[in-house]
A and B are shown apart, each in its own frame.
Chain A
């Protein structure tokens, strides 16, 4: 009896989160709008970078990680912007806020769906990146996955919070990157550094400072978001 109540509450909470993630996935499977625009945009960013840098002068392994993360960042911003805008357009957000759902569940649901869309997109971009930049990523794939995972999570924690905020603004398209980019500079620096070290063949243990910085960022911003999401999603 004693342990029953919290478990039931927990299950209910997880069900709420799952419902939101499920809703996002079904919408996406129907329209494929978000995913295709993110993917093509990331591809375009990489191609434009290839035209703007002279690969015969610059070493691909030095410039590559930066280009890769810029592409992820830009595509991720598009994804974040679209994801809350879709909710706003059809009054879906209104419905979600009226529904007896915990606001933090809403945040986690959005976080998980944003995070997974971005991850899927990133892993589809990786082979293209590998071919275009002529960098062999296969031997370093496992540490690279860790790095991409940690960096993308950091981007999504704060990005989900800010996109739920900027969805209510008139100039939301431009305000999201303006608010988001200065705040995630630590994540960007850390991810790019770690990626270039991984590509250079160094083990993860040689970059514990970066790894702990990025993981700390993830944890702290998830905690902060839980504490203040109620104030953002207030009607």
Chain B
């Protein structure tokens, strides 16, 4: 890695750390406790940014998959892989923090609510995407297949959204579910905290991307060196 790239990546890491420090201070000290839900409401400041990041990562997978099929350049394949992995991690965090919040508020760990269900299906799609990648040996075939799956998986999201939404409306909604009141019933201090947290998480995405991409490029370098020098003679 060049000196300049190294410097900018370390600046990014420090910036992310700083953003998280301010964000944590805002979440745990600055923002007032919600009257109805109590302390557990503060989970939302992690939950919503994680959900945003998961969706953002999957969108990047989609874009990179298209670019890969178009340009056939290895770097797009690497970006798609890194983004999918990070997306699955954050999607898992959404699926873990959601029930932890729901247990004291709704009285149940899991409710087949529309949004929960579609997040779960999304998680399954991208886990299968990663499984496809891990189970196939490196090469042009793996990259092509993964790109195909990255495209059709993302195009499925609107269908999943509507089908799950209509599926739920056939049942009476459980009592505790109310529209989460995003923004509507929120204090300005809460909105500000949420924005801070969103910013910090988005920075974290780029840090993780940078590190994950570095792993893949190093792997490529090792393979290349082996091929050039060790196997030939």
Interface residues of A, Cβ cutoff 8 Å to B:
158, 161, 165, 168-171, 175, 178-179, 181-183, 185-186, 189-190, 193, 209-210, 213, 216-217, 220-221, 224, 228, 231-232, 234
CB distance from B122 to the nearest CB of A (A): 8
| B10 in contact (CB, < 8 A) | no
- CB pair B131–A183 under 8 Å, yes or no, is no
Closest residue of B by beta carbon distance from A232: B148
Decide: A189 near B164, CB < 8 A? Known: A170-B135, A175-B132, A213-B159.
yes
Closest residue of A by beta carbon distance from B167: A189
Contacts of A221 in B (CB 8 A): 152, 155
Closest residue of A by beta carbon distance from B164: A189
- CB pair A210–B145 under 8 Å, yes or no, is no
| A-B contacts besides A170-B135, A228-B69, 5 pairs, CB < 8 Å | A161-B148, A175-B131, A178-B128, A228-B148, A231-B148
Closest residue of B by beta carbon distance from A197: B170
How many chain B residues touch the partner (CB < 8 A)? Answer: 29
Of the A-B pairs whose beta carbons lie under 8 Å apart in the complex, a sample of 14, sorted by A's number, is A179-B128, A182-B124, A185-B163, A186-B163, A186-B164, A189-B164, A189-B166, A209-B166, A224-B152, A228-B152, A231-B147, A231-B148, A234-B140, A234-B144
- CB pair B155–A220 under 8 Å, yes or no, is yes
CB distance from B27 to the nearest CB of A (A): 33
* Residue in contact with B162 in the complex, picked from A181, A213, A231, CB distance below 8 Å: A213
- CB pair B148–A169 under 8 Å, yes or no, is no
- CB pair B151–A186 under 8 Å, yes or no, is no
Closest residue of B by beta carbon distance from A233: B144
* Residue in contact with B135 in the complex, picked from A169, A224, A232, CB distance below 8 Å: A169
Interface string of B120-155 (1 = CB under 8 A from A): 010011001001100110001100110111011101
Contacts of A190 in B (CB 8 A): 163
CB distance from B35 to the nearest CB of A (A): 37
Decide: A182 near B128, CB < 8 A? Known: A189-B164, A234-B144.
yes
Contacts of B151 in A (CB 8 A): 224, 228
- CB pair A165–B121 under 8 Å, yes or no, is no
Contacts of B131 in A (CB 8 A): 175, 178
CB distance from B65 to the nearest CB of A (A): 10
| B160 in contact (CB, < 8 A) | yes
Decide: A183 near B125, CB < 8 A? Known: A168-B141, A193-B170, A232-B145.
yes
